[in-house]
């Protein structure tokens, strides 16, 4: 029953090397078996011992040797070769696993791609070329199979990046008894006919655009913050360091008609200012103003005295001179000097002396 119980795996690598493996630990837990083979037929068989054993925990689990013909006979025996456990004769050509495709080329024309490779030296009719591809938006590979050694496919979007891989398949029933395919050729990445290092490369321009936009937004935000701070600073500067108006702009008649002589200008307008004040004040204020005026006349008789001019905040709207003088004093509780006069301003009135 040993001969029927032993299962072996047979692989003929591109008709160049043979690999025979078996389940050593399961089949022979206490026996380290030996392996022999021959490609000869008939009575002239010459058995050869395995040149290169494959081990499984120090047990012989397989053998690797050179392919020397289409018909192979194998024998598995005990360690000294006196007892045979398994033997088999088969066609080695029916267990061929092809090599990877060589010199794979991609040809792009609009939305069509043609993939080709070099033809193997043997049994080209038994081989098929398999192409698989997918974009970054696809979950699974799309597969196409054609005769060796060229395949074409259409419908590729030039705006997408695609991954491609190819391999050779061995036909079963006609050429193989086992469905063996080659290993996949190295995966390549293409976009609109351009070879890329990876499909991540096509996202870099978008990432760069996002970075540039973020940078511009940050710059604009900084400029806005600076403008706000500048406005705040201007307000603070005006609060602590008020601008001094140019009297030439406010008192045009003072400089054009009186050549800047403030005493002459204020004497000329004295009567008009007092009259305006009397019209706007209550009777008690008028009596007080008249008393003050009489006192000024008496003082004029005695000799030159200091003149004191008082303007209330309400006068600014009715008396243009008072408004002009008020323009010289932009802040409250301030003392200024102009044309030999001292000007005192508080919250309610202006005093010139």
SS (H, E, C) the chain: CHHHHCCEEEEEECCCEEEEEECHHHHCCCCCCEEEEECCCHHHCCCEECCCEEEECCEEEEEEEECCCCEEEEEEECCCCCCEEEEEEEEHHHHEECCCCCCCEEEEECCEEEEECCCCCCCHHHEEEEEEEEECCCCCCEEEEEECCEEEECCCCCCCCEEEEEEEEECECCCECCCCECCCCCCEEEECCEEECCCCHHHHHHHHHHHHHHHHHHHHHHHHHHHHHHHHHHHHHHHHCCCCCCHHHHCHHHHHCCCCCHHHHHHHCHHHHHHHHHHHCCHHHHHHHHHHHHHHHHHHHHCCCCCCEEEEHHHHHCCHHHHHHHHCCCCCCEEEEECCEEEEECCCEEEEC
Tell me the CATH number at 54: 2.60.40.10
In this structure, the answer to whether residues 87 and 148 fall within a common structural domain is no
Last residue of a domain, one of 137, 162, 196: 196
Q: Are residues 25 and 57 in the same domain?
A: yes
Within a domain: residue 276? no
Does 175 lie in the same domain as 129?
A: yes
Q: Is residue 46 part of a domain?
A: yes
Residue 262 counted as domain residue: no
Each residue's pLDDT expressed in tens, for the chain with a length of 353 residues: 445 567 889 999 999 999 999 988 888 888 889 999 999 887 788 999 999 999 988 889 999 999 999 999 999 998 888 888 888 999 999 999 999 999 999 898 888 899 999 988 888 899 999 999 998 888 889 999 999 889 988 888 888 899 999 999 999 888 999 999 999 999 999 888 888 888 875 544 555 678 888 989 999 999 999 888 888 877 777 776 666 655 555 566 666 676 767 677 777 766 555 455 545 555 555 455 555 555 555 555 444 444 444 444 444 455 555 545 544 444 444 444 444 444 444 444 444 44
- Domain assignment present for 303: no
Same domain, 165 and 142: yes
Residue-number span of the structural domain to which 113 is assigned: 98-196
Q: Are 27 and 61 part of one and the same domain?
A: yes
Q: Could you tell me if residue 48 is inside a domain?
A: yes
**pTM for the model:** 0.54
- Chosen domain end from 96, 121, 149: 96
Is 253 a member of any domain? no
Q: Is residue 284 part of a domain?
A: no
Question: Considering 96, 124, 151, which residue would you say is the last residue of a domain?
Answer: 96
Total of domains in the chain: 2
């Amino acid at each position: 029953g040993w001969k029927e119980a032993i299962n072996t795996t047979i692989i003929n690598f591109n008709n160049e090397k043979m690999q025979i493996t078996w389940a050593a630990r399961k089949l022979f837990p206490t026996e380290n078996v030996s392996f022999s083979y021959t490609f000869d037929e008939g009575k002239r068989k010459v058995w050869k011992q395995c040149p290169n054993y494959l081990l499984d925990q120090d047990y012989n689990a397989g053998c690797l040797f050179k392919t020397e013909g289409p018909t192979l006979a194998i024998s598995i025996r005990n360690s000294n070769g006196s007892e045979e456990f398994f033997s088999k004769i088969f066609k080695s050509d029916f267990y061929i696993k092809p090599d990877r495709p060589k010199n794979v080329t991609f040809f792009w024309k609009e939305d069509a791609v043609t993939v080709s490779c070099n033809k193997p030296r043997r049994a080209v009719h038994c081989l098929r070329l398999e192409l698989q591809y997918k974009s970054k938006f696809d979950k699974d590979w799309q597969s196409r199979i054609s005769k060796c050694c060229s395949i074409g496919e259409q419908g590729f979007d030039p705006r997408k990046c695609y991954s491609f891989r190819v391999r050779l398949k061995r036909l079963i029933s006609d050429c193989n008894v086992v469905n063996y395919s080659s290993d996949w050729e190295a995966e390549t990445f293409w976009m609109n006919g351009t070879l890329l290092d990876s499909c991540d490369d096509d996202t870099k321009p978008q990432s760069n655009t996002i970075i540039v936009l973020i940078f511009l937004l940050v710059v604009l935000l900084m400029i806005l913050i600076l403008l706000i701070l500048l406005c705040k600073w201007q307000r603070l500067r005006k609060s602590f360091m008020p601008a001094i108006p140019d009297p030439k702009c406010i008192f045009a008649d003072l400089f054009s008609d009186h050549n800047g002589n403030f005493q002459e200008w204020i004497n000329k307008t004295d009567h008009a200012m007092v009259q305006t004040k009397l019209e706007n004040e209550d009777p008690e204020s008028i009596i007080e103003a008249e008393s003050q005026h009489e006192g000024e006349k008496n003082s004029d008789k005695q000799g030159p005295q200091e003149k004191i001019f008082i303007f209330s905040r309400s006068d600014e709207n009715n008396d243009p001179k008072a408004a002009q003088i008020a323009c010289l004093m932009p802040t409250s509780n301030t003392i200024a000097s102009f044309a030999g006069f001292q000007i005192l301003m508080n919250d309610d009135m202006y005093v010139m002396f």
